[in-house]
Structure 1
């Protein structure tokens, strides 16, 4: 360890002690304070990690309550994680890019190991964040007009198309605003792009039939997931993406089917991506919210909307394309910006002449028992 590193660690320790003093994070009195114990200060190229534990009897809620004091001393680019006693303070030395262009050569390696790779963007360490929709199923995307929500939908769907064969992935798109999904209308993977509530209801009824069909298949072959079906009975993944689905809230049939998709779709290979501008607690009832395992909150109007989406701090976002993601933990991420023109160019090899909207074929006895 160099002398410079030693001095840097001492600086961080001293600064953290000052946080404890300012926040009243100690037992005893000001003359003889009993501070939390700092176990380690580790320096990395992109961040510094500090581990500390609270003395028994000190309320851990004081950490959350006084988080603003940590930011006053260490800056906005920090992360506090912990529970009852042990906490980790991460101070990032790099910043999230204000703009991030979608570059296919950079994106493809990030999602290469996923069955259904979802590209998110870059985090505070400057690294790309992605996840597998098959293990973290169903996404909620929320954000005001111009916040970057629609661009994120575009990059997610484009990446899925570029990384999966049409025989392995089918997309069902509901475009309630009639402005976002026309780009995908003639893409081979896309079964339909619909905008009217009546047509979307019919589409979801087909998805409901397909859920029942796949459930029958798993029962017949005694498997717990469609990926375990015999090769001759394998079925493609289905992704149902509905933009501004709040406009469908008055249709009970639609909401019931969406609730069923997010409740049981994972093991049957059926996934939902739902987006909305103005989160509404009545639309996002507890059943739907509990099963939307990933939330992406772009700029939201107020703290109430941030709580509904479960992305604390999304109401404070000031940068276009920036969002808070809640999945296995909280992330602050800059989404990749994919223009319409770029997307058309990337999707062009998959464009075909479309006829009538494809229907999901029902399961037949021959399908099940064919040897």
Structure 2
């Protein structure tokens, strides 16, 4: 079976109707082969066959998979069908003639439930590992009975245990044979694969002597029918939920996007007033300033965009590019234009002149994102947005995920805020609230308020002290994510989301005016940005920092070193451009969305562009945001929970049940399951999920010993935030 999604696996769920069956997986490089078999050697003692098979495995290391807790405790059963996907992933890391074989043998059991019930009773009384031998278990119960008289204790009731005991049970044997010189490296992956099924119980590998994997040896390892179905016979695959673009295509997301794009205003374009004499005027200007003797251009070509006319020509004989560049202001004055760009041409010995039109066309956001080119770009670029159009009206697209962080500068009226709104709006249009969280910091209190109704944004932060706390929490979240990556044996948010049902959101933090924030908070905010700049890429946390005042005392060398991609609109003088880019730009920006970008890896050092706008009419733009905000209503009602106004961390949608649990723990400092279940009035299985979430968030530490339970490890500052809340 090759690495493609199959409608039917050889390992059929119909096998569960048999009293005895086996499933074999042979994994080689880029291929997984599986088959079902009846382990005949179980039914007859054919030593010749057994010895023949054993000889085939002389070069293998053998391991047995077994339960780590008493058999009545259940595994996770929500990963229906992912086992095969994990094996496919394993095949992708195999090399050469490496081989991994996995043999599962199951035999239906009919006499296990009574013993399971007795063991579970013993477990509930405080015996974490009750023996499956009756006599030993009775001795254990007497011992724990004496201990409970001195120090009463018990273990929580679990609905999932009851479900397993009520289900059909199969004793099982799983043998893994590994043929590889890097056996330990492959075992790390295999062990991680089985850890995905950890719940009240788990599966672990133990080295064994080489023996025939087809021979079943009776044991007291029991899996329920539900657990076997989750392991081998489900129909889910990781590939169905990994990539956002694939999910959109499969689930009608493109249709939803198209409907939302239609909400964007349509901007009527004015005709550009063409000046057919502009090449002649340019030649005359060059002659006037002494660049050429005759008013004539050679090999000239003309291209017109929405804002600029681009004239490309040969560099005059006996002149260098620098000779013309030095005369730029004289040429501009001779032409009588408010801006002139002079750049090296795309071909040898050529030069480009950029001359603005007398009237400029507006570029609408709708026209640049409602194009096939943007849809194609977005398939491979998760946080795609449109910068605008270049000098000759080619669309320029970038991916914030690849940029990691972005600096945006521009004075009042330059188009900075308009560009920022187009960028944020594009992210809102192309992502669900389950994929993306926006953290918006608005020192001016009026620039980003239109995003408050959106489910991607729980609150727009205007208080600067709270903004500082927001950055601290972002750094803590980044560190928490790296801890989870280590636990899951992955290196990035993409790897984590491939392995886990609960996905991490990408987080984009926008500071509308960094200078104002810096003036209040000072160097602390710079330290947080430096830490995020150095590490947050793999964690899926991205920064967009905007400012009108890019002076060197605000944008320090540390900030510039960690945020290397920048977009600028008109700043008035080259000193400010040098602060951002490290050097001046080869033209004067004329405002109203005329911008320049310097992006690492881009084909041009400086790329001039005209940015898009949502609408030229302020009222029409506000009506658009209202319509777009209303379009999200009902799409995910669970995300419209009330946000506690006393929250001091960064903005995100709260789970009220989890918040209630945090409040109770903060006020009582108790983590015992029985107590919390009574206070919360919820099922024990639900409470277990919430406690696991608190472990992930760094609130609790779960001990391997169930008698020790959970330990409260979160900091006092976090506890104080919840301690002040009124317990509900």
2:573 is aligned with 1:306: no
Moved more, 319-328 or 163-172: 319-328
**1-structure distance, mates of 2:515, 2:586:** 19
Q: Check 1:347–1:186 CA distance in 2 against 1; reply closer, same or farther (3 A cut).
A: closer
Instruction: Report the equivalent of 1:81.
Output: 344
Instruction: Report the equivalent of 1:283.
Output: 554
Q: Check 1:222–1:21 CA distance in 2 against 1; reply closer, same or farther (3 A cut).
A: farther
Cα shift readout 1:30-85 (whole Å, capped 9, x = no counterpart): 9xxxxxxx9x8777787665577999xx9875564345577678x867552379x9
Instruction: Report the equivalent of 2:626.
Output: 344
Q: Check 1:305–1:208 CA distance in 2 against 1; reply closer, same or farther (3 A cut).
A: same
Residue pairs, 1:153-302, within 5 angstroms:
153-233=420-500, 234-249=503-518, 250-302=521-573
Instruction: Report the equivalent of 1:135.
Output: 402
2:347 is aligned with 1:65: no
SS in 2 for 1:126: coil
Cα shift readout 1:111-141 (whole Å, capped 9, x = no counterpart): 4323111222222112222211111222222
Q: Check 1:192–1:312 CA distance in 2 against 1; reply closer, same or farther (3 A cut).
A: farther
Q: Which has the higher contact order (CA 8 A, sep 6+)?
A: 1
Moved more, 225-234 or 132-141: 225-234
2:643 is aligned with 1:355: yes
Moved more, 350-359 or 274-283: 350-359
**1-structure distance, mates of 2:291, 2:361:** 39
Note the residue ranges of structure 2 that are not aligned, 5 or more in a row.
1-278, 616-620, 634-639, 645-650, 655-693, 703-728
Instruction: Report the equivalent of 1:325.
Output: 597
Residue pairs, 1:139-150, within 5 angstroms:
139-150=406-417
Cα shift readout 1:278-323 (whole Å, capped 9, x = no counterpart): 2221121112113323322222243322222338459943332322
Contact 1:152 1:337 in 2 (8 A): no
Shift of 1:349: 1.6
More strand by share: 1
Contact 1:168 1:237 in 2 (8 A): yes
**1-structure distance, mates of 2:472, 2:396:** 34
Shift of 1:261: 1.8
Contact 2:508 2:543 in 1 (8 A): yes
Q: Check 1:53–1:215 CA distance in 2 against 1; reply closer, same or farther (3 A cut).
A: farther
**2-structure distance, mates of 1:314, 1:341:** 39
Q: Check 1:22–1:144 CA distance in 2 against 1; reply closer, same or farther (3 A cut).
A: closer
Q: Check 1:331–1:101 CA distance in 2 against 1; reply closer, same or farther (3 A cut).
A: closer
Contact 2:384 2:398 in 1 (8 A): yes
**2-structure distance, mates of 1:219, 1:191:** 29
**2-structure distance, mates of 1:236, 1:150:** 25
Instruction: Report the equivalent of 1:104.
Output: 366
Contact 1:96 1:125 in 2 (8 A): no
Shift of 1:193: 1.1
Cα shift readout 1:182-214 (whole Å, capped 9, x = no counterpart): 111121111431111111112111111111122
2:393 is aligned with 1:126: yes
Contact 2:388 2:609 in 1 (8 A): no
Note the residue ranges of structure 1 that are not aligned, 5 or more in a row.
1-11, 31-37
CA RMSD of aligned residues (A): 4.1
What is the TM-score normalised by the length of structure 2?
Answer: 0.41
Shift of 1:264: 2.4
Cα shift readout 1:143-175 (whole Å, capped 9, x = no counterpart): 222332222221111110100111111110101
Q: Check 1:297–1:96 CA distance in 2 against 1; reply closer, same or farther (3 A cut).
A: farther
**1-structure distance, mates of 2:341, 2:471:** 43
Contact 1:122 1:334 in 2 (8 A): yes
Q: Check 1:111–1:273 CA distance in 2 against 1; reply closer, same or farther (3 A cut).
A: farther
SS in 1 for 2:576: helix
Which of the pair has more CA radius of gyration?
A: 2
What is the TM-score normalised by the length of structure 1?
Answer: 0.74
SS in 2 for 1:80: strand
**2-structure distance, mates of 1:45, 1:343:** 33
